[in-house]
Amino acid sequence: MKIKIGITGQEGFVGQHLYHTLGLFPDEFERVDYHIDFFKEKEKLDNFVQKCDVIVHLAAMNRHENLQVLYNTNVSLVQQLIDSLNETKSKAHVLFSSSSQEERDNLYGKSKRLGREMLIDWAAKSGGTFTGLVIPNVFGPFGMPFYNSFIATFCHQLTHSEQPKIDVDGEVKLIYVGDLVNVILKEIRSQQGNPTFVIPHTDEYKVSVILQLLEKYKAQYFLQGIIPELNNRFELNLFNSFRTYINLNEHYPFKFTKHMDARGAFVEIIKLNVGGQVSFSTTVPGITRGNHYHTRKIERFAVIKGKALIQLRRIGTNEIFEFYLDGNEPSYVDMPIWYTHNIKNIGEEELYTNFWINEFYDPADPDTFMEEV
């Protein structure tokens, strides 16, 4: 039997990552459709709750100029969920997204703490299962700048001709959104409640150190196309997050410098401060390669002969980015994580392409998921 999982706040930063990761396990999980309007119509919310074996309650307001509105909204959302759980006599496993700000003297933290306490009380009275997730600062791809995290804000600013400003240069405890999702999946699979599950942070850095890394990514990668040195998993996750804030239509295809003399042409395809592997392919006219995506790998397609169409589409969206490359003007496109992508020979001669990826192919852990663009 598949576990039927509903995510309130599915449209948000963590919600999108959790939703799409669940989609990687179609034999284990079934995703229950959710829409933000469900909290405006009791019948729709009840119908949603009734279908779920597991409910991950992420719906919340993180920022608002009126903090009392923020507090009231978050508490109200929890109360509406509890009313629906009681109305439907649900025994679902409810996981609630709280925050490490619970103990701070601010209305956001207080709203989270009260919400968790309300759900503890519901579980005790109804016999339901409850897990209260106390979560540190989360960062990762597609976070909303000026809302989800300072890292999202810095990434947006550095890729949009703005200069980040540090207000307080303190040590910040962080968790990558992919790691948080894995913790949530582990809790779902355990089917055990934990009213106060303090999720440990995976990294701790000063704000200024993170900004220095991001400025390096801008100087080397964004402006010059150089793959920077990535010394640990945090730096890989930070770099992959940074890449998703680049405006694809404005940035690609990135033209190489072509050196010509009497002997012919010379082009530097990739400059690396990190390892990986380089591959070469020929593609006959009309053939398409790819139609897959990665969740951690960095990949570059460089066209050196022939004509190609490269297409990208972010998972869960409909917008397709199209880039036309010609070997007469050698150029490349890099593949952001969570973007399905392909390359098609649209010319009349063989297409020559160099592929670089930052890690060797491992059949046991390929990080390659098939999906048509």
Q: DSSP letter string over 317-353?
A: ---EEEEEEETTB-EEEEE-TTEEEEEEE-SSS-EEE
pLDDT at 103: 81
Mean pLDDT, rounded, for 187-212: 97
The pLDDT tens digits for 206-235 are 999 999 999 999 999 999 999 999 999 999
Please state, as a whole number, how many other Cβ atoms lie within 10 Å of the Cβ of residue 266: 10
Return the structure tokens found at 112. Answer: 């989270």
The pLDDT tens digits for 273-314 are 999 999 999 999 999 999 999 999 999 999 999 999 999 999
Could you give the CA distance from residue 69 to residue 76 in angstroms, rounded to a whole number? 10
pLDDT at 107: 94
Could you give the CA distance from residue 307 to residue 284 in angstroms, rounded to a whole number? 11
The pLDDT tens digits for 138-171 are 999 999 999 999 999 999 999 999 999 999 999 9
H or E stretch including 215?
helix 207-217
Return the structure tokens found at 306. Answer: 């022939």
pLDDT at 265: 87
> Which residue shows structure tokens 């390929």?
366
Could you give the CA distance from residue 252 to residue 137 in angstroms, rounded to a whole number? 32
pLDDT at 308: 98
Q: Name the CATH superfamily housing domain 247-370.
A: Jelly Rolls (2.60.120.10)
Residue 62 above 90 pLDDT?
Answer: no
3-state secondary structure string across 42-102: HHHHHHHHHHCCEEEECCCCCCCCCHHHHHHHHHHHHHHHHHHHHHCCCCCEEEEEEEHHH
DSSP 39: G
> Which residue shows structure tokens 């942070």?
201
Residue 3 above 90 pLDDT?
Answer: yes
Domain positions in the chain are 3-135, 247-370
Please, which pLDDT band fits residue 345 given cuts at 50, 70 and 90?
Answer: very high
Residue 104 above 90 pLDDT?
Answer: no
Could you give the CA distance from residue 220 to residue 359 in angstroms, rounded to a whole number? 20
**What is the CATH T-level fold of the domain 3-135, as seen in this structure?**
Rossmann fold (3.40.50)
Residue 271 above 90 pLDDT?
Answer: yes
Mean pLDDT, rounded, for 184-205: 96
pTM greater than the 0.75 cutoff: yes
Beta-strand pair 171-176/137-139: parallel
